[in-house]
Amino acid sequence: MFEGQPLPRIVESSEFDRVVWSSPWPSHPDVLVQFDLTPETRLRWTLLAHTPAPDQQAVE
């Protein structure tokens, strides 16, 4: 996270394969970030947004 930004909170999780964070972007509070964890310990994340998603620069 960037200095001065609030840390996201865990909105939802399952014990072995998924964690959903609240938005790490104060300007886009409705966005969620979902982390999918596979048994091979690969990590995939998905940006879930009902509103226009943050621009690419904000995500990086």
Residue type present at position 58: A
CA-based nearest residue to 50, from 29, 35, 36: 29
Tens of pLDDT, residues 39-53: 777 777 777 777 666
HEC readout, the chain: CCCCCCCCCEEEEECCCEEEECCCCCCCCCCEEEEEECCCCCEEEEEECCCCCCCHHHHC
What pLDDT, in 10s, does the model give residues 5-54?
778 899 999 988 889 999 888 888 888 888 888 777 777 777 777 766 66
If you search the block for the tokens 């979902």, which residue do you land on?
34
